[in-house]
Amino acid sequence: MAGTTTGFDPAAIRADFPNLHREVHGKPLVYLDSAATSFKPQVVIDTLADSYSQHTANVHRGVHALAEEATDRYEAARTAVADFVGADPRGVVFTKNATEAFNLIAQSYAKQQLGAGDILLYTEMEHHANLVPWQLVQPEAGFELAAVPVRADGTLDLDTFAEIVRTGRVKLLAVTAMSNVVGTINPVAEMGAAVKAANPEAVVVVDGAQSVPHLPTDMTELGADFLCFSGHKMCGPTGIGVLAGRLDVLDAMPPFLGGGEMILDVHLFGATYNEVPYRFEAGTPMIAEAAGLGAAVRYLTDAGMDAVRSHEIEIVEHAIPALHDIPGVTVHGPTDPKARGAAISFVVDGLHPHDIGTVLDREGIAVRAGHHCAKPLIRALGKAATTRASFYLYNTVEEIDPLCDAIRATQAFFEV
């Protein structure tokens, strides 16, 4: 297998991921669905197994050796995750996934801090996880919802954004750093700065579910007050996500869930709450999963996030022209590989995305088909669904040919 001009060695990386080496329907697997969930390197699988075989104990409670080991592993993971995104470890809250992180902010921040006259601004490009939690609290809180439209090229309409921001009423901006459908990388830092210039009280919530796994990330550079992401899309386990928040903002927020661990003291008819991040981690947390996520960020750091990004740019540089070359194929989103990530949505004239997905699967190629939990965006593109091929650090330029061959074979099979 060829290396790439970036010096990144996909062959060495691939050897670390056992899932890549299985067959599907008798064919070697070509896994192009990492935007849905990524494969896990052996070191993450080993860390999970080690947690359960050697360090099983609850955290922050026990006085015995195993409890101390489990607590140390859990807190070391918090520090590793914080370092990975340039956050203060005390502002890193472990959640179930990115979705829960958005719900936490909606319930404990938006519902409390936004009211009549305020605008909560999101975009038409958002995943449902960055739409529905705000919609849930809006009727009670009484703020206004507004959305930045998406243009036909898959970028945000920044003129309309500027118009809304000029009102000075935007109190919360919720925006994805990278679209899970069209791959667009949004100018989050610039957008956040504009919102704060017009209203210094505003906060910026960044959806990093797709960007944190693929781009070097620094919360301060992003201008994010809150950053939400999921472990399972970045080589880590399922069942763990992250809300990284500005300490002073988190400090002023009431708890999201009640129970053990999140309290200082409890009386029969009242309680006082723990400091952050523990205030937001009610009950026994995902102990093994946190350790697994710690191993995942160490793995990605060793691989080098700049190298991961360059590798994916190189794949996109080849993939987009190759898909464009197939008659009847339309690729959505930016064509400039530097302006986008490696989640590539396309439609094929005369073929339903689910049929494409099914035929590709028979060839051992795993893609996703559907609305990708971003229905407003799919509607804005004038479609009901797309097929999405998404690439990660362990994919190779060589995997683009089988994808394109299988699309041509699907066209031949359905005679379109």
Binding site for ligand C6P (CB under 6 A): 35-36, 97-99, 127, 129-130, 176, 180, 207, 209-210, 230, 241, 368, 372-373
CB of 176 to ligand C6P, least distance (A): 5
∠61-63-68 over CA atoms, to 5°? 80
Query: Which of 97/274 has CB closer to ligand C6P?
Result: 97
Helix axes 400-413, 353-362, angle to 10 degrees: 120
DSSP 193-257: HHHHHH-TT-EEEEE-TTTTTTS---HHHHT-SEEEEEGGGTTS-TT-EEEEE-HHHHHTPPPSS
Query: Which of 390/411 has CB closer to ligand C6P?
Result: 390
Query: Which of 97/386 has CB closer to ligand C6P?
Result: 97
Query: Which of 266/384 has CB closer to ligand C6P?
Result: 384
Query: Which of 373/404 has CB closer to ligand C6P?
Result: 373
373 an active-site residue? yes
Query: Which of 37/160 has CB closer to ligand C6P?
Result: 37
CB of 145 to ligand C6P, least distance (A): 18
202-216: b or e for each residue (b if 16 or more CB lie within 10 Å)? bbbbbbbbbbbbbbb
d(CA 41, CA 34): 13
- Number of helical (H) and strand (E) elements in the chain, helices listed first: 15, 17
d(CA 361, CA 24): 8
CB of 374 to ligand C6P, least distance (A): 7
Determine contact, residues 35/343, Cβ cutoff 8 Å.
yes
**Residue 149 carries which side chain, given as an amino acid letter?**
P
CB of 249 to ligand C6P, least distance (A): 21
> Which member of 228, 235, 373, 404 is catalytic?
373
Taking CB atoms, the residue at the shortest distance from ligand C6P is 180
d(CA 126, CA 173): 12
The DSSP symbol for 174 reads E
Beta bridge partners of 156: 150
CB of 125 to ligand C6P, least distance (A): 9
229-268: b or e for each residue (b if 16 or more CB lie within 10 Å)? bbbbbbbbbbbbbbbbbbeebbeebebbbeeebbbeeeee
Instruction: Using DSSP, state whether 369 is helix, strand or coil.
Output: strand
Instruction: Using DSSP, state whether 273 is helix, strand or coil.
Output: strand
Query: Which of 101/203 has CB closer to ligand C6P?
Result: 101
CB of 97 to ligand C6P, least distance (A): 3
Determine contact, residues 280/255, Cβ cutoff 8 Å.
yes
d(CA 181, CA 189): 21
CB of 201 to ligand C6P, least distance (A): 26
Just list the catalytic residues: 373
